[in-house]
Amino acid sequence: MELFIRFAQGKMPFFLRPFGKEDAVFMFNQSPTSNSTFEIELQVMPFIAVQNDWMNLCGQAINLGEVKTFWPKSTTLKSNDTSSTPQEIYESYVARSVEVLKEGYLKKIVAARRVRFNAVHPTAKVFQALCQQYPNANIFAWWNEDSCWMGASPELLLDTIKNSSGDLMYSTDALAGTQVASSNKDLSRSWTAKEVEEHQLVTDGIVNDLTTYGATKIAPSPLTNKRAGHLFHRFQSISFQTKKPQGILDCLHPTAALCGLSREEARQWIIDYEGEARKFYGGYFALRQNKAYYAWVNLRSAEFFDNCTVLHVGAGLTKDSSPQEEWLETKEKTQTMLNVLHS
């Protein structure tokens, strides 16, 4: 098992700062090497949560230019027969979901689809290109036995911070609503009522989950817009305190941004009607050192096989969603990976 991660600008975990600069690439292995400088725990969770134990890893920080030197040189990838989700199938799924949302039983559903294209090997060059093109995202590459996940995630699931008194606090992202940036890299239009509602549902869902969990001092930051490549999202960071950090990931995963509201009913809808399982798409990667946690969501990612590469991409639905517009939104989201893989 190997994991490479370049943290988004300003989002490097504080417990790793003694070991590397802000723009360093961190490399993790299960077996210690002569260059290992620290130990950490990792948990990787699929969209449908399972009982995954934390594993001990040894890590070191390297420069981006050194990635090729340390990149795995002998990896065997399995073949896969996954096909792309046809447009008519996806739009039919969205339309069916919207009808359920109009009934009021659910408030939000995240509908995902697959994009399959010819094999592109998960090389150090691809990882470096993602780092250079997406400085505000967590860039990661993770070998899961005989496949590899690589992506540029704009969304944190959990971060650990310290307040002015030095006490540990935690924060999570509420990120939803999508539009393409303008030519001058600003918002291209006003947010629609549907997008405003979608983001508010995500924020409300997180706050409700944290409240139920018993978290205190829950405080959403001022609303802003977060740029992720050529896209913008509505964004808030939600800080909180808890005396039970060991269970907070279970409390937050999967958020309304990747699943829907109410969470259990939306997740069951996805299982019943979406088709092929999401596997690790919509799941998370979590690092832990003592009581400090750092976790990011697996999205804007691709899974690499011997004979193909598969992207998973989703869109948040409300009762006002249009199947055609949601198809176009997912098409835009695929550009994060396609821009690099086809360059």
Rounded to whole angstroms, the Cα distance separating 281 from 311 reads: 9
Structure confidence at residue 270 (pLDDT) = 96
Pairing status of strand 224-228 against strand 216-220: unpaired
Query: Is 223 inside a domain boundary?
Result: yes
Sign of CA dihedral 251, 255, 259, 261: positive
* Within a domain: 54: no
Q: How many CA atoms lie within 13 A of 70 on its CB side?
A: 25
Number of structural domains the chain divides into: 1
233 forms beta bridges with 178, 226
For 338, the 3-state DSSP assignment is: helix
The CATH number of residue 226's host domain is 3.60.120.10
Structural domain boundaries, residue 304: 79-133+155-341
Please give the Cα distance from 255 to 283 (Å, whole number).
10
Q: Is residue 237 part of a domain?
A: yes
Flag whether 71 is in a domain. Answer: no
* Distance separating alpha carbons of residues 238 and 155, to the nearest angstrom: 12
The answer to whether position 69 is within a domain reads: no
For 98, phi then psi, to 5°, come to -65, -40
Q: At what angle do helices 263-273 and 87-102 cross, to 10 degrees?
A: 150
Give pLDDT tens digits for 79-120.
999 899 999 999 999 999 999 999 998 999 999 999 999 888
Q: How far apart (Å, rounded) are the C-alpha atoms in residues 176 and 161?
A: 23
pLDDT for 168 equals 87
> Is the separation of the CB atoms in 226 and 134 below 8 Å?
no
Q: Concatenate the DSSP letters of all residues of 292-330 into one string.
A: EEEEEE--SEEEE-SSEEEEEEEEEE-TT--HHHHHHHH
**For residue 254, what are its two tokens?**
């999967």
Nearest of 81, 55, 63 to residue 27 by alpha carbon: 63
Backbone angles phi, psi at 256, to 5 degrees: -60, -20
Residue 33 located in a structural domain: no
Give the helix, strand, coil percentages of the chain, each rounded to 5. 30, 35, 35
* Residue 138 domain-assigned (yes or no): no
pLDDT on residue 36: 73
Q: pLDDT value at position 23?
A: 93
Q: Is residue 273 part of a domain?
A: yes
Output the pLDDT for position 267: 95
pLDDT at residue 1, rounded to an integer: 80
pTM: 0.94
What is the CB neighbour count within 10 angstroms for residue 53? 6
pLDDT, residue 341, reads: 85
**Sign of the C-alpha dihedral, residues 157, 269, 110, 211?**
negative
Assess contact for 159 and 294: CB atoms under 8 A: yes
Of 226, 234, 218, 116, which is closest to residue 169 (Cα–Cα)? 218
- 221 prior amide bond cis, ω within 30: no
Q: Can you tell me the distance from the alpha carbon of 175 to that of 225, in angstroms, rounded to the nearest whole number?
A: 9
Q: What is the pLDDT along the chain (343 residues), one digit of tens a residue?
A: 899 999 999 999 999 999 999 999 999 998 777 777 899 999 999 999 998 899 999 999 999 999 999 999 878 899 999 899 999 999 999 999 999 999 998 999 999 999 999 888 899 999 999 999 999 999 999 998 888 999 999 999 999 988 878 888 999 999 999 999 988 889 999 999 999 999 999 999 999 999 999 999 999 999 999 988 888 999 999 999 999 999 999 999 998 889 999 999 999 999 999 988 899 999 999 999 988 999 999 999 999 999 999 999 999 999 999 999 999 999 999 988 888 887 7
Per-residue pLDDT, 307: 93
The two tokens of residue 98 are 């919207």
Place of tokens 């939600």: 238
| CB contact set of 264 (below 8 Å; sequence gap of 6+) | none
